[in-house]
Chains A and B, each alone.
Chain A
Amino acid sequence: MTLNYQGVGSGAGQKLVIQRTVDFGASDAPMSADKLASAKLLQFPAVMGAVDIAINLPGVATDAVRLSGKVIAGIYLGTITNWNDPAIAKLNPGIKLPDLAIAPVYRADGSGTTYVFTSYLSKVSPDFQSKVGADKAVSWPAGTGAKGTAGVAGAVKNTPGALGYVESAYATLNHLTTTELETHDGKFIKPTLASFAAAAAGADWKTAKDFAVDLNDQPGANAWPIVSATFVLLPTNPTDAAHGAAVIKFFSWAFANGDATAKDLQYVPLPATVKSQVRKAWKTLGK
């Protein structure tokens, strides 16, 4: 049996698995419990990824600038418009920030990354939540949109003063200038695999329904604030039992052998306890 994976976008992936056109789908945004029940789907996390902030400040090294969720929310709301704003200066006492307009860049295409990022900003900034909210595409009060992660990265690289959000894996592999972020506990940390894993470890997986945990802004000394899981959707009543079993076999193999590959690609494997929870959920399939 061969696996044919199509990167069609989460919305389309969800639609195709609901129609049973495909054997499984995956999305960065968890599906609601009602929808899962009515579409007869089982949802489980596969792997976790983080979102980094990429900036273009001439002469500033990577992870040198410190930002907080409130400041980023202010930038995307259009209330903080210059790099020498006192709110940014206060977080960066050691750096002389230039008098340069901030050009925020966002994903113009509907995107799971945007969902994760706006969920984070809504969580840390009530102002952002009331004015913008969280979704795969939102109505941004400021900034410009670029298509795809590569588009955001390119726009940031092109424009002095720009700031954008990209998947951590992409930022690392393409050597973007990232920033430190303030954790829930008020510490400033660099985006590293260890700090992403710390966010996953602190989350409450036990009680979350359908594994839909919110990994953003988790407490913990070294927990990166913008982290999310990718969720896989499986039909609980597969149209073809052999295909259903093969999909489980594939993910079972991936859970057992895929950790090193995930880390190579800058993604965070699930904690062992969560994996065994997921394996337990698979047993309920087809019954």
Chain B
Amino acid sequence: MFSALAHAAGLLVLVLLGTIIVLLFVGGLPAFRAFGAGFLTSSAWNPVTNHFGALVSVYGTVVSSILALIMAVPLAFGVAFFLTELAPGWMRRPVGTAIELLAAVPSIIYGMWGFFVLAPLIGTTIKPWLASTLGHVPVIGDVFRAIPGDSSIFTAALVLAVMITPFIAATMRDVFLTVPVIFKESAFGLGCTPWEVVWSVVLPTTRASVIGGIMLGLGRALGETMAVTFVIGNTNRINPSIFAPGNTIASLVALEFPEAESGSLQLSSLLALGFILFVISFIVLAISRMLLPQRGRV
């Protein structure tokens, strides 16, 4: 009896997952039919003329998530390094718990904080500084050009970075702790500094798990909706500058779904976007699963 129930519960998850994929695909089918492969390469999103394309929101999703990773990974590595090697014993637990609590903050809180505090702050500090320095460098200057308005892909990426840092830091700390003490002690015995121990002993032995943890963070960043909506500017244009507003799949779907008329091409295109996001997240999570160690039998 119990075994039957447990089997049913396990199967139910698979059925749910399969149904979601199928429903998203079927819902998006009219859009895929109407635009073909052009749906992926078109930057249009015009409910008036009924022309839809995924390029701008896919671009925004990928760029904001990767920027977030660039900011979060070094920070998370620093946190994990500090907690496992440098922090005195009495600090490890409170700081570790604080990091985990950060992961529990609801994303809407991050969104509001980003909108009211972080976005204006970036607009008056980081943006002018980067624009007046790197902004004048040939070739890459365009990437740092100042654009009026506080909402931007950069702001969204920074909020995402704060959100995913705890995930990545917690994973890194856990896998760093799995490194056998004897490895580290041998390295210390050879006269290595803590940095050298982590860089040439701990990291190489845990590389796969660390990358897996980063992928988990990336997965979260890709699908984040509320916090991003608040600060990204929700603009359907691609601009080389990271200080320009943009859009992500999740936020576009959340914004336009309630007012999209049933049976319209707009609704179908939104479902098609959902399908694309599902595929992207699925690939990222699959990679992370493959790289993370099998922690016993799950």
Count contacts on B: residues with CB < 8 A to the other chain. Answer: 31
Verify A147–B259 contact, CB threshold 8 A.
no
The interface stretch among A60-68, A88-96, A103-111, A273-281 is A103-111
Asked if B48 and A135 sit within 8 Å, CB to CB, the answer is: yes
Contact of A151 among B44, B123, B230, B260 (CB under 8 A): B230
**CB atoms of A138 and B47 under 8 A apart:** yes
- Is the pair B123, A145 in contact by a Cβ cutoff of 8 Å? no
Q: List 7 A-B contacts (CB under 8 A).
A: A8-B258, A9-B258, A109-B255, A111-B259, A138-B47, A144-B149, A147-B234
Mark interface residues in A112-143 (1 if CB within 8 Å of B CB, else 0).
Answer: 00000000000000000000111111111001
Q: Which of A135-183 contact B (CB under 8 A)?
A: 135-140, 143-147, 151, 154-155, 158-159, 161-162
- Scoring B residues 229 to 245 as 1 if CB is less than 8 Å from chain A, else 0, what string do you get? 11001111000000001
Stretch at the interface among A11-19, A191-199, A229-237: A11-19
B120 at interface, CB cutoff 8 A: yes
Contact A146 B258, beta carbon cutoff 8 Å: no
B115, CB-defined interface residue at 8 Å: yes
B46 pairs with A108, CB closer than 8 A: no
Is A254 an interface residue when CB atoms closer than 8 A count as contact?
no
Q: Is the CB of B48 within 8 A of A139?
A: yes
**A101 contacts partner chain B, Cβ-Cβ < 8 Å:** yes
Residue in chain A with minimal CB distance to B45: A139
Partner of B46, one of A11, A105, A139, A145: A139
Asked if B150 and A158 sit within 8 Å, CB to CB, the answer is yes
Contacts of A134 in B (CB 8 A): 48
Residues of chain B whose beta carbon lies under 8 Å from any beta carbon of chain A: 44-49, 115-116, 119-120, 123, 148-151, 229-230, 233-236, 245, 251, 255-256, 258-262, 266
A159 contact set on B, CB distance < 8 A: 123, 148-150
Asked if A139 meets B236 with Cβ closer than 8 Å, knowing A133-B49, A146-B151, A159-B123, the reply is yes
Distance between Cα atoms of A141 and B239 in the complex (Å) = 12
Indicate if the CB atoms of B259 and A137 lie closer than 8 Å: yes
Picked from B149, B151, B258, the residue with its CB within 8 Å of the CB of A11 is: B258
Q: Chain B residues near A151 (CB, 8 Å)?
A: 115, 230
Q: Which of the residues B44, B115, B255 comes within 8 Å of A110, measured between beta carbons?
A: B255
Chain B residues near A10: list those with CB within 8 A: 259
Contact A154 B116 (CB under 8 A): yes
Known: A14-B261, A135-B47, A159-B149. A147 touches B119 (CB 8 A): no
Q: Per a CB cutoff under 8 Å, which of B119, B234, B261, B266 touches A108?
A: B234
Given A9-B258, A108-B234, A108-B255, A161:B148 Cβ within 8 A: yes
- Shortest C-beta distance, B42 to chain A (Å), equals 12
A144 & B260 in contact (Cβ 8 Å cutoff): no
Given A136-B47, A138-B47, A139-B47, verify A147-B255 contact (CB < 8 Å).
yes
Interface size class of chain A, counting residues whose CB lies under 8 Å from the partner chain: 35 or more
Q: Which 6 A-B pairs have the closest CB atoms?
A: A110-B259, A145-B234, A108-B234, A133-B48, A144-B233, A9-B258
> Is the CB–CB distance between A137 and B47 below 8 Å?
yes
A156: min CB distance to chain B, Å? 11
| A contact residues around B255 at 8 Å (CB) | 108-110, 137, 145, 147
Instruction: Please report the C-alpha to C-alpha distance between residue A143 and residue B244 in the assembled complex, in whole angstroms.
Output: 10
Best-surrounded residue of A137, A154, A162 (most CB of chain B within 10 A)? A137
* Neighbouring A residues of B47 by C-beta, 8 Å: 110, 135-139
Contacts A15-B262, A137-B256, A139-B48; is A154 near B234 (CB within 8 Å)?
no
Question: What residues on B are CB-neighbors of A108 within 8 Å?
Answer: 229, 234, 251, 255
Contact of A136 among B148, B150, B259 (CB under 8 A): B259
Q: How far is the CA of A145 from the CA of B229 in the complex (A)?
A: 9
- Complex Cα distance A162/B119, Å? 14
A102–B148 Cα distance when bound, in Å, is 8
Chain A, Cβ-Cβ closest to B258: A9
Q: How far is the CB of B176 from the nearest CB of chain A, in Å? A: 39
Q: Which residues in A have their C-beta under 8 angstroms from that of B148?
A: 101-103, 159, 161
A136 to B236, CA, bound (A): 15
Contact with B along A9-37 (1 / 0, CB 8 A): 11110110010000000000000000000
Q: How far is the CB of A132 from chain B (nearest CB, A)?
A: 7
Cβ of B66 to closest chain A Cβ, rounded Å: 21
Is the beta-carbon distance between A154 and B115 smaller than 8 angstroms? yes
Contact in complex: B116, A158 (CB < 8 Å): yes
Chain A residues, CB < 8 A from B48: 132-135, 138-139
A136-B47, A138-B47, A159-B149 known; 10 new pairs, CB 8 Å cut-off, are A109-B259, A110-B260, A111-B259, A134-B48, A136-B259, A144-B233, A158-B115, A158-B120, A158-B150, A159-B150
- Determine the residue in chain A with the shortest Cβ distance to B263: A15
Chain A residues, Cβ within 8 Å of B45: 139
Q: Which chain B positions have C-beta within 8 A of A12?
A: 258-259
